[in-house]
Amino acid sequence: MSLEVKIKKKLKEFTLESELNVETGCTGLMGPSGSGKSITLKCIAGVETADSGRIVLDGKILYDSEKKIDLPPQKRKIGYLFQGYALFPNMTIEENIKIGLRAKGFPKDEIEQKTNDMMKRFHIEELAKRYPRQISGGQKQRTALARMLVCEPEVILMDEPFSALDEYLREQMQDELSNMLAMLDKPAILVSHSSKEVENLCDKKYHIQRGHMERATLL
């Protein structure tokens, strides 16, 4: 399974020129603040649109400016773990996980089944009826991961998934994430400011600076 990205997008201060190939396994994306990491992920997910280029997942075109193809986010099969998780504060943990499945029109009993399976897998079933403000940082991250994976994405995008966690929890969640990625066997992109995190979790990395992306070597 592979994801090929070659896109351009004019931003206020520079032009983003993202070019990366991601295979099964985890690819790190590093760079200074404001260099174009999040917007690259958003273009891949389809919540932002590039000005030109192509995004191809296993031969399937998600975006092609010349062919005028631009699949909406719900047709891209991409899981996006947002910076800060973006859980809906007015929905319970359970409802937060169900929302994507509802949007995709799954039947009610299948939604229940899939949500319960995911909550068990991430050890959050006891939190089902609580709201995001009533759970810890690690539990929020588990909820966000469950919400992302319940829709069975083909590609996983993670924007600084550990930045909100303290050091102890960060190491624990890194281990969990590493096991999960190995089990899923899908391409993943991890945006991070930490070389250590990328060295631990990724088998490939890119650097981006003012919108210009280059492959870098892991230590």
Ligand X SMILES: Nc1ncnc2c1ncn2[C@@H]1O[C@H](COP(=O)(O)OP(=O)(O)OP(=O)(O)O)[C@@H](O)[C@H]1O
Residues that bind ligand X (CB under 6 A): 11-13, 31, 33-39, 48
Q: Considering beta carbons, is residue 48 or 95 the nearer one to ligand X?
A: 48
Smallest gap from residue 33 Cβ to ligand X (A): 3
CB closer to ligand X, 5 vs 39: 39
Among 178, 101, 185, CA closest to 146? 101
- Rounded to the nearest whole angstrom, what is the least distance from the CB of residue 49 to ligand X in the complex? 9
User: Would you say 51 or 199 has its CB closer to ligand X?
Assistant: 51
Q: Which is nearer to ligand X, 13 or 167 (CB)?
A: 13
CA dihedral 111, 117, 118, 120 (to 10 degrees): 140
Measured from the CB atom, is 106 or 206 closer to ligand X?
Answer: 206
Closest contact distance (angstroms) between CB of 73 and ligand X is 15
- What is the closest distance, in whole angstroms, from the C-beta atom of residue 20 to ligand X in the complex? 14
Min dist CB 82 to ligand X, Å, is 11
